[in-house]
Amino acid sequence: MKPLLSILYSPIRVWRCLKAWQQVILALILGALFGFAFKSSAEFLKPLGDLFINGINMIVMPLVFIAIVSAITSVGDGNKMRRVGLRAIVVYAITMILAAMIGIGVAVLVQPGLGLAHAHSLQQAPELQHIQWQSFVSNLIPANPLRAFVDGNILQVIVFAALLGIALRQAGEKAAPVINFFQAFTHVVFRLAGLIISFAPYGVFALSAWVFSQFGLSVLWSLIKLIFVVYLACLLHMAIVYGGGLRLMGIKPLAFFKKIRYPLSIAYTTSSSAATLPVSIEVTATELKVPREIAQFLLPLGANFNLNGLSIYVSAATIFAANFYGVHLHIADYITLVLTIVLTAMGAAGVPGSGVIVMGAVMSSLGLPLGAIPLVVGVDRLNDMMQTMTNVAGDVFATTVVAKQEQERTSDFVNVNSPGVSN
């Protein structure tokens, strides 16, 4: 009896020892094998996957709203830091918009989910109501904020949250109790988000089994193409946007990337911007000659708000989902996609599983079902490694650019002439 219990307990013990990303990848593989082997039984697992999708839907709106209000009300004071911070946020917004555009461009060319559209898809392909310019602008401010929540209008929720956050800051001391409430409620909502994301392996297993039982190996090939899109778009973004921006500032791109190769290697292997922060700050201050107080202020800020890699990842995943459901996007849809990615990514900063949350918000803004998300989450670790490295490179890039604009001591780096590095 004891040997039998030991055999049964061993897989459970191994499962508990795995990291979250390892559990998700294993769940995707096991789900695929189960779907291939037991096609008729895989149908019974779909409700479990639907529960996971419903959980994501449930948390998206309140999380984005509370995160944006909390972020705006928690910005520190100080004239210089405020000026530096505002300049950094402008750089963040520009690079994130360019990142989303590059991600969309590469994904549209490759079409990673092409061929997956199927009569028996996870849901029927939605009929998108393509947005006109006039209605898009006029509908940014909600006439009824509660209806914006109910209807799932993520852009209206973001605008309302931003306006409320600004009003709370301007209200001064009288608004302190409300600000404290939002700060505390943020922790609760983040904890709820973490709880939902902790069920990802089980939701991924269920929907992976069901999807692979329906579509077979075509799904695997599409996921490989999605990984290719993310990696190619990230490399293009670092070469064109970061490299071009550095050259405009008189900084040698190859020398820059050579000096930050250590934090980039940590970012890629750990998939954690937070884990890279100590090294990033030290390298930026000592190697790039950025004043330490600016590096210590902007790099943590960038780790939370400057998510270029995430913008690329989510844009590629959204095109994948559109391919999956056989939906054709128009110019106005792409503009909505870019704006929603940038605003939502900044709003969901620091959220556990923020990629999934942002994906859900972006796909909802276009009227796309969320059934493709568990497939994307299954290869999230591989994509997350590259997007984190792109995020960290973007943080150091933005910090260096802003420090240069502040006419701080970046000249030592600008004039560097490392062996083997050319203009």
pLDDT, tens digit (0-9, with 9 covering 90-100), for 143-190: 888 888 887 776 788 788 888 988 988 888 888 899 899 888 878 887
Question: Mean pLDDT score of the chain, rounded to an integer?
Answer: 79
**Residue 420 maps to a domain:** no
Specify the CATH number for the domain of residue 136.
1.10.3860.10
- Contact criterion met (CB below 8 Å) for 352 and 137: no
**Residue 354 maps to a domain:** yes
Pick from 137-146, 162-171, 352-361, 375-384 the range whose average pLDDT is largest: 162-171
Name the packing angle between helices 218-237 and 200-215 (round to 10°).
Answer: 120
Please state, in angstroms and as integers, the Cα–Cα distance from residue 110 to each residue in 206, 225, 229, 319, 376, following that order.
28, 8, 7, 10, 16
**Chain segment 206-215, per-residue pLDDT in tens:** 877 877 776 6
**Residue 421 maps to a domain:** no
Q: Which domain holds residue 62?
A: 2-414
**Residue 382 maps to a domain:** yes
Query: How many separate domains does the chain show?
Result: 1
**Residue 422 maps to a domain:** no
- Contact criterion met (CB below 8 Å) for 233 and 316: yes
**Residue 419 maps to a domain:** no
**Residue 394 maps to a domain:** yes
pLDDT recorded at residue 129: 46
Q: Residue 203 in 3-state DSSP?
A: helix
